[in-house]
């Protein structure tokens, strides 16, 4: 992640629900676009990623909001995976931290250099599955443009072994770089592209010279900091919970339940 422009401890951030009126004033006269992470934001983080299913209530809120403003899901998950989990046709889906984007009206972008890294990802996937085969609870999840190694269900004494295996594989694959998250290590293309760059691309793609979009991004993890940084001087970033570092977000929400409440308030404001 790039050095952040202005980071703050979580305790110094105003709560987005308590300060919703302040946020509403910032949105007055603007055309908002809402960017959302998935895991830890719209759904709680769970032991098995496949069990992170969107609740009917949250899906309804997102669906209602998508009829009023543009919504884009920017997730570390594979794009097809997060698209199937949300299941709404009028939403933009950016998977693998923005390397794979599709949306309404034929929108489609796959990072041109991402394709070149696929053989390295294939090799790393095979190698990691072999080297980690004897560690109970570890999950090696292949996405099109990344590999996620989950160790949430690994016994504490073996966690370092998982991290070491990922680091060794990174050393073998110069085309890849390491990413961090909550109980996860990722192998990603060593390309200057991330959630923040994808967000800015979408803003440029969807805005016009006379009609600029005002971005609001809600996310919970270290990988979301790139997006918070990207909009720090032109939008609103809201961090859910906390992670290992300080944040470039402007406001905070405590958990997924508070995200739901915030989205409901946003819906009321837009009515």
Catalytic site residues? 37
In this prediction the pTM is 0.84
pLDDT at 222 over 60: yes
CA distances from 17 to 10, 72, 219, 249, 253 (A): 15, 21, 15, 15, 7
pLDDT in tens, 179-192: 888 899 999 999 88
pLDDT for position 1: 38
- Tell me whether the CATH fold assigned to 10-111+193-270 matches the one assigned to 114-189: no
Considering the segment(s) 114-189 as one domain, its CATH architecture is 2-Layer Sandwich (3.30)
pLDDT at 115 over 60: yes
The fold for domain 10-111+193-270 equals Rossmann fold (3.40.50)
Whether residue 163 contacts residue 154, with contact meaning beta carbons closer than 8 Å, is answered with: no
For the chain, domain boundaries: 10-111+193-270, 114-189
Whether residue 32 contacts residue 219, with contact meaning beta carbons closer than 8 Å, is answered with: no
Q: Which of 8-22, 99-113, 119-133, 149-163 has the lowest mean pLDDT?
A: 8-22
Angle 158-76-78 from CA coordinates, rounded to 5°: 105
Instruction: Average the pLDDT over 207-230 and give the result.
Output: 90
Reported confidence tier of residue 54, pLDDT bands at 50, 70, 90: very high
Extended strands (E) in 65-153? 70-74, 92-95, 100-103, 107-110, 139-143, 146-150
């Amino acid at each position: 992640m790039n050095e952040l422009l202005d980071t703050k401890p979580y305790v110094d951030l105003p709560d987005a629900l308590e300060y919703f009126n302040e946020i509403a004033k910032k949105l007055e006269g603007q055309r908002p676009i809402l960017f959302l992470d998935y895991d830890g934001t719209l759904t709680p983080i769970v032991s098995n990623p496949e069990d992170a299913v969107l609740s009917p209530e949250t899906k309804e809120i997102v669906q209602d909001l998508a009829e009023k403003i543009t919504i884009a899901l920017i997730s570390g998950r594979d794009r097809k995976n997060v698209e199937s989990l949300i299941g709404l046709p009028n939403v933009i889906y950016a998977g693998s931290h923005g390397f794979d984007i599709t949306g309404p009206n034929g929108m489609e972008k796959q990072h041109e250099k991402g394709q070149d890294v696929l053989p390295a990802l294939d090799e790393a996937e095979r190698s990691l599955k072999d080297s980690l085969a004897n560690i109970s609870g570890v999950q090696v999840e292949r996405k099109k443009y990344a590999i996620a190694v989950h160790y949430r269900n690994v016994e504490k004494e073996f966690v370092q072994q998982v991290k070491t295996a990922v680091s060794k594989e990174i050393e073998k694959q110069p085309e890849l770089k390491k990413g961090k998250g909550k109980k996860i290590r990722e192998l990603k293309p060593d390309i200057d592209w991330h959630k923040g760059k994808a967000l800015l691309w979408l803003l440029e793609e969807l805005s016009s010279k006379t009609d600029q979009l005002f971005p609001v991004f809600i996310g919970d993890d270290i990988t979301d900091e790139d997006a918070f940084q990207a909009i720090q001087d032109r939008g609103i970033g809201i961090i859910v919970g906390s992670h290992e570092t300080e944040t470039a977000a402007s406001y905070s929400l405590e958990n997924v339940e508070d995200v739901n409440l915030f989205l409901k308030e946003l819906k009321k404001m837009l009515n």
